[in-house]
């Protein structure tokens, strides 16, 4: 009986260590700590967020970040923002921390401009959109101040940039109810009748 107990405890400990090793935590921070820069970004309509991934399981992992655009409830485009598997210039992560800064803006010429700044380089994407009277908003998928767990080997949505949905009962246009809902982000267009939105997806493997 004692031997069986020891085996069970060892098994649970092994599973716990394995789970911790295979789990990455994401933390985010919006805007700028500099008041003047923060106000300037707001004036220019630029939204920005710092993303920090941490965990022992990050070391030696490849990473891929995708941008997905949905129009009228259907996935219309998938772009690779960055991938160590597709670009020989990029190397797998060699530390327990991986960070980048994400900027996004809806421009006056009815385009959306995205810029991601990594440690030694940056990337840009521009998307054409239809003119709209509503504003797009950038939201992460964290549950309040808690870190977001990300599983290695599993594609995970981390950011959404989307138009609001109209709550017909109240007449209010809402954003947080969308990003904080339990609906699959792939279904936002159909569930909330959102004509256009973008999702940022990450995969570590």
Supply the pTM of this predicted model. 0.87
Residue 36 lies inside a defined structural domain of this protein: yes
Q: Which residues of 174-200 are buried (b: 16+ CB within 10 A; e: fewer)?
A: ebeebbeeeeebeebbeebebebbbbb
Q: Please check whether residue 175 lies inside any domain of the structure.
A: yes
Range of the domain at 122: 24-204
pLDDT tens for the chain, 205 residues: list them: 555 444 433 333 334 334 445 689 999 999 998 999 999 999 999 999 999 999 999 999 999 999 999 999 999 999 999 999 999 889 999 999 999 999 999 999 999 999 999 988 999 999 999 999 999 999 999 977 789 999 999 999 999 999 999 898 898 999 999 999 999 999 999 999 999 999 999 999 9
Q: Is residue 17 part of a domain?
A: no
Contact 116, 198 (CB under 8 A): no
In a domain, 15, yes or no: no
Domain assignment of residue 3, yes or no = no
Number of domains in the chain: 1
Tell me if 174 is assigned to some domain.
yes
């Amino acid at each position: 009986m004692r031997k069986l107990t020891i085996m069970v405890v060892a098994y649970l400990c092994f599973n716990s260590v394995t789970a911790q090793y295979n789990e990455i935590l994401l933390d985010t921070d919006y805007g700028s700590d500099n008041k003047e820069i923060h106000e300037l970004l707001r004036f220019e309509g630029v939204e920005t967020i710092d993303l920090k991934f941490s965990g022992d399981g990050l070391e030696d992992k490849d990473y891929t970040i995708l941008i997905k655009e949905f129009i009228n409830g259907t996935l219309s485009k998938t772009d690779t923002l960055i991938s160590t598997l597709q670009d020989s210039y990029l190397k797998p992560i060699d530390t327990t921390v991986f960070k980048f800064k994400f900027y996004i803006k809806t421009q006056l010429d009815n385009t959306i401009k995205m810029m991601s700044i990594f440690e030694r380089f940056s990337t840009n994407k521009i998307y054409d959109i239809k003119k709209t009277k509503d504003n797009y908003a950038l939201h992460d998928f964290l549950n309040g101040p808690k870190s977001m767990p990300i599983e290695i080997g599993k594609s995970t949505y981390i950011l959404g940039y989307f138009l609001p949905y109209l709550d017909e009962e109240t007449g209010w246009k809402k954003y947080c109810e969308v990003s904080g809902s339990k609906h699959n982000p792939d279904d936002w267009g159909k569930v909330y009748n959102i004509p256009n939105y973008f999702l940022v997806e990450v995969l570590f493997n």
